[in-house]
Structures are given as C-alpha cells and as structure tokens.
Chains A and B, each alone.
Chain A
Amino acid sequence: MKYIYNCFGGSHSSVTTAGIHLGLLPRERVAENKELLALPYYDAQVAKDHGRLRFMGFDELGNEVYVTGSRNLRTRYERIMRSVLTITGTKQKDIVIINTMPYVNLWMMIGGYLSRRLGFFRVGRSIILYGTRCSYYKFIHLVNLIKMQ
C-alpha cells in the first residue's frame, strides 16, 4: 500500500505527519525542534517541487509513505488522482491520499510563507516550528485515524 500525505507546499504538515507515521517522530510527546528539522524535506521544498511525490520511507508494515505539495487543490487533488486511477483500472485501495491542510494553523501558514515564498528562513522557520508544535497532537491524531483504517 502507498500512503501519500499532501499539503500546500509538501514541506511542513505533510512531512511532519509522514514522520509520525514512519516513527521518525515521537507519538507520545511533542517533537523537539531539532527532531523536526532533522526530517527529510522539512522546510526544504520549493515551488518547482510542487506535485512531485517524495518518498519518505517504509512504515512498520512495509507500506510506502510519500509526501507532496498540492498547492490550492486541497480535496480536489484526491478527486483528480482517484479519477485518473479509475480510468486506468488501478486498484483504488492500494493508494491512500491524505490531505493534512485541515490541521495547519495560522502560524504554520505565516511561517511557511516567510520561509518558502519570501526566503526569510531564520524568522519563518522559527514560526513554523512553533506552529508545528502547536498542531502536533492533531497530526498524531490524524496518523492514528489513518492507521486504524
């Protein structure tokens, strides 16, 4: 099975949630800043990477976990990908597409804009880290929901 976590830029909420899914981040406490920054692709993707599926790793059951940036498509992203899978006769149950945007808070949006769009890495990154830590338990909840299914 393949899990595809997506958010606006594929840099923060999707990477954090994928990190929790893979066990790269703790599930019983809020991750430290250095743990978040050590994640592959965390606060690293740029506009030309949007849409590209980035492999994050295999989970404990051997499932592949990917992250991507779907920009403003949100739920339309899954609908489009599912439509394309349908016309090609690909098994739908092999792909799980998860939108992490509902769990993104204002701090993450502001920090992401400053860091990724405007290039103010130092300021933007500290705001993103704060925002990610604020929503961290929501990301854990999302991973728990996904793994329960």
Chain B
Amino acid sequence: MKIIFQDQLGCYAALVAAAYYTGVLQETPSLSDITTLPSFADHTNLLPGNLFYLGKDQEDNEIYTLGVGREGKVIATSIYDLFRILNKSEIVYVIDVSSINFLPLRLLWYLKMIRPLRRSVTIASAFLIKSKMPQIIDYIKNERMNITS
C-alpha cells in the first residue's frame, strides 16, 4: 500500500507526521530532529503537487508526502474515486494533516521568503510544529487503526 501524508505545502505537518509514522521521529523530538528532516520547511524550493518519497514503514508500506495547497479534501476525494473506478481502491491511503498547520505556523511561511530570515524561521517553524506533536501522535494512532482495519 502507498500512504500519502498531505498538507498545504507537504513539508511541515505532513513531513513530521510521516516521519513519526515511519519511526524516524520519536514522540518527543528535539528541534534539531525536526529541522534535519529531509526538506523540512523547504517550500521555497518545493512545488506543491509533487510527491516526495520518505521511506517505508514496518508493514512495508511506502510513505510519501504531498503539498496540495488548500484543496486537501478535493484531492483525497479524487484519489479515492480514481482508484475506485480503476478497481484498485485498496492500494492508496491518504492522510490529510492540513489542520495541524495552525495560523502562526502558516504566517511563518511568508517570512520564509525573506532570505536572511530563512534559518531562524525554520527553527521557529520546528518549535511550533513540536508544540503540535501530541495532536500529530493522536492523529497517527487513529489513522494507523484505520489502515490496519
């Protein structure tokens, strides 16, 4: 199965949730654990709409992250419908974590455009996303139960 974690840009909550899901991140990661994730907060170089392969989980499922702008629900619905009409509905599972990217974090995305601030904004983003780890952990636990069932 292919599991796709999606959020607005694919490199914030989606990446952290995917990293936690695969076991790369623990329940209480340090800031450097988050900032050293591949492509974390790298939305100035990444294009929304491109899938990024992160790795495999314990059940050998392939994990991807995807940035979809504000249309996470539309894409999830379309992907499920597409594979339903192709009679392959069990091979893709989409987890939309857009809601975890809360307003202060989203405001930092604009500051990230200012080149001299990039490093400090990345650390601030990691700090904010770290504060949302309990929510991410709950989310992943629920989704893991859905996937296994």
Interface, chain A (partner B; CB < 8 A): 2, 4, 50-53, 55, 64, 66, 68-73, 76-77, 79-81, 83-85, 87-88, 90, 94-95
Contacts and interface: CB of A to CB of B under 8 A. Distances in A.
Interface residues of B, number: 29
Contacts of A68: 78, 81
B91 interface: yes
Contacts of A80: 49, 51, 66, 68, 75, 79
Contact of B75 (A66, A73, A85): A73
B76 interface: yes
Given A70-B78, A80-B75, 14 more contacts: A50-B71, A51-B74, A53-B82, A55-B85, A70-B71, A72-B71, A73-B69, A77-B75, A77-B78, A79-B49, A81-B82, A84-B2, A88-B83, A90-B88
Contacts of B50: 79, 83
Interface in B49-64: 49-51, 53, 62, 64
A81 B78 contact: yes
Contacts of B48: 76
A50 B49 contact: no
B86 interface: yes
Contacts of A90: 86, 88
Contact of B51 (A66, A87, A95): A87
B51 A83 contact: yes
Contacts, number: 84
B85 A53 contact: yes
Shortest 10 CB-CB contacts between residues of A and residues of B: A51-B77, A51-B74, A76-B49, A53-B81, A83-B51, A51-B78, A79-B49, A50-B74, A71-B71, A80-B49
A34 B38 CA distance: 55
A84 to B, nearest CB: 6
B70 interface: yes
Contacts of B15: none
Which among A68, A71, A80, A81 has the highest number of chain B CB atoms within 10 Å?
A80
Contacts of B70: 72
A84 B68 CA distance: 13
A52 B88 CA distance: 16
B107 interface: no
B4 interface: yes
A64 B82 CA distance: 12
A71 B62 CA distance: 28
Nearest to B72: A51
Which of A73, A76, A84 has the largest count of B CB atoms less than 10 A from its CB?
A84
Interface in B19-71: 48-51, 53, 62, 64, 66, 68-71
Given A51-B77, A70-B71, A77-B78, A84 B85 contact: no
